[in-house]
Structure 1
Amino acid sequence: METIKKKGVRSVFTVKEKMFLTPHYIRIVFAMSDQQTELFKNVMIGDHNKIFLPVNGTNDIVFPDEHTTNKESLSPVRTYTTQYINYKEKELFVDFVAHGDNGPASGWAIKAKAGDSLGIAMKESSRPILRDADKYLLIGDSTAIPVIGAMLEQLPEGVEADVILEVFGAEDEMFLSSKANLSIEWVHNPYPEKGSNLAEIVRKRILPTGNRFVFAAAEFSIIKNLRNYFKQEQNWLSSEYSAISYWKKGESEDQSSIQRKEERQN
């Protein structure tokens, strides 16, 4: 089967507005020019994108190119999900988990103000972020709320969506919109970097049957546990689930990227 290469688009955006949706959840609204609105018209909401942070405390974004030799001069890169694009109002939304200054993206979002810059790169795609099913089980920690929120908004009427989301505390529970028959279980974990019982909670659930699909996104050890559960213990087909590791305890995104990618391919 022929591999279709997606076209990447990127641009530097300016912060228009910032709001705390919950104590640990920040939404940044970026203004879009006419040119940016046209450039990003074919991207898939909920798909992965890269953000490029300002260089060394400045407001400058430096994208890499084929001539780049000094990587230290480039903008730090992190993986995020674009939550929503309002093409009519020319606004782009990116949500951040606020977990202090120990992460560069979190630190930037906490301090961000109107007029600040952020580089955003996405890929054009017409492929749905979820395969068609009658029953869905969506699992994630706080880092997965943007993508799961985007998935829920795209689900049609009549399907079942069972969701398990881990957040820091009750004050971080939020409204998620969907046309699907939606059931959400909120799990509270104030110190996710010290461990989580999210995988154990999933293992105790009655799994969907029939035309089903499971999506899981969380910390490395949780995803490794769940991937083994669905693949080895439950003997599910690879088309029935997707498990993605977004981060790994004690390591930066750069440090853990290779190991997380290898785990995803297993």
Structure 2
Amino acid sequence: MGMGVRSRSAQGVHRLVVESVEDLTPGMRRVVFAGPGVASYVAAGPHVPNIKLYFPVPGAELDLPVKGDGRWSFAPGQRERVRTYTVRTLDRDASRLAVDFVRHGDEGLASAWAERAAPGAELGALGGGGLVVRDGGWVLLAGDETALPAIGSTLERFSAERPEQRGLALIEVAGPEEEQDLAAPDGFEVRWLHRRARAGEATSSGPAAPAGTTTLLQEALAAVELPAAELAAGQVRIWVSAESAVVRFARAHLKRLGFDRRHQLIIGYWHRGMTETGYTRSTDHDRERGELADVLPGQEHAHAH
């Protein structure tokens, strides 16, 4: 059985308008976009699980790339303002799309925009696509707060389409206040890992260690015992997305275990000290060829998330 299915990138540039903003936790903000821009984005082609968002220069109006000679082109400095996010929810009929942003204050282009987002604010959408984890067998999902939207939407899909799905989700966050109520199947354990405890605080009110500075998730991954029967039958699939050091550890650990790399998807969502553009140029987000070799390109999972 394949690990997942791949979506091609949607074509064109779409203007997304903010409908509402909601803080899910102190560190996670949900921005809902609605209207004709969402409708055109959906109509253009594959649009989940990932979306390429284009941000304006801070304090300026949205300056979308322009089309010339039949193709969209970037002016100097525009390409560096593209960021990749997860489509957390999508209502095609209502032309409504939600994206969850990790809050870092003014640290970074996307976070600074999200801090000031209000109804009527605009972003560009340049395309979507990617891979989603198929159901069946036993599934391990692991990531930090940047991966929480993708993990949450995957669990919701499993609950709706395969309520008997079994597996484990390891989610690293700052502390208990960052936990979310995720709709997981009864047989799918959700295990929260708190950096605050690793920071040595006696209570949950103290500051947490910054993301990307602990080995909390690496240790949890190393301690996982994969189910023997499903492993022997090739029915275990593993998805890991987090900071670069975590995904590099995960890949090396699974290699030591002799795990079939065709059944794993390991991609870095961010690299401490690098911009997304720099991370892409340096290592392509720690991607490696040969993973998910049994996945057919050009297909799209029917579930929107």
Query: TM-score of the superposition, structure 2-length normalised?
Result: 0.77
Which secondary structure state, in structure 1, belongs to the residue aligned with residue 87 of structure 2?
Answer: strand
RMSD after superposition: 2.4
Residue 234 of structure 1: aligned partner: 257
Counterpart-to-counterpart distance in 2, 1:98 and 1:4: 28
Distance 1:200 1:29, change over 3 A: same
- Which range is displaced more, 207-216 or 140-149? 207-216
Residue 245 of structure 1: aligned partner: 268
Which secondary structure state, in structure 2, belongs to the residue aligned with residue 243 of structure 1?
Answer: strand
- Residue 82 in structure 1 maps to residue 87 in structure 2: yes
Residue 151 of structure 2: aligned partner: 148
Residue 60 of structure 1: aligned partner: 62
- After TM superposition, the structure 1 = structure 2 runs for residues 52-201 of structure 1, keeping only pairs within 5 Å, are 52-63=54-65, 66=71, 68=73, 70-72=75-77, 76-123=81-128, 129-155=132-158, 156-179=162-185, 181-189=187-195, 190=208, 191-201=210-220
1:8-36, CA deviations, whole angstroms, 9 ceiling, x for partnerless residues? 35411111100000000000011122x74
Higher RCO, 1 vs 2 (CA within 8 Å, ≥6 residues apart): 2
Give the length in aligned residue pairs: 259
1:108-160, CA deviations, whole angstroms, 9 ceiling, x for partnerless residues? 101111111011233368xx611343111100100001111121122212110
Give 1:174 deviation, angstroms: 0.4
Counterpart-to-counterpart distance in 2, 1:30 and 1:4: 21
Q: Which runs of 4+ in 1 moved over 4 A?
A: 3-7, 64-69
- Residue 212 in structure 1 maps to residue 215 in structure 2: no
Counterpart-to-counterpart distance in 1, 2:78 and 2:126: 18
Asked if the contact 1:9–1:123 (Cα under 8 Å) also holds between the matched residues in 2, the reply is no
Which secondary structure state, in structure 2, belongs to the residue aligned with residue 264 of structure 1?
Answer: coil
Residue 23 of structure 2: aligned partner: 20
Task: Write the letter of the residue equivalent to 2:282.
Answer: Q
Query: TM-score of the superposition, structure 1-length normalised?
Result: 0.88
Percent identical: 27
Unpaired runs of 5+ residues, structure 2, are 1-5, 196-207, 290-305
Unpaired runs of 5+ residues, structure 1, are none
Distance 1:223 1:64, change over 3 A: farther
Which secondary structure state, in structure 1, belongs to the residue aligned with residue 150 of structure 2?
Answer: helix
Counterpart-to-counterpart distance in 2, 1:217 and 1:207: 18
Asked if the contact 1:167–1:186 (Cα under 8 Å) also holds between the matched residues in 2, the reply is yes
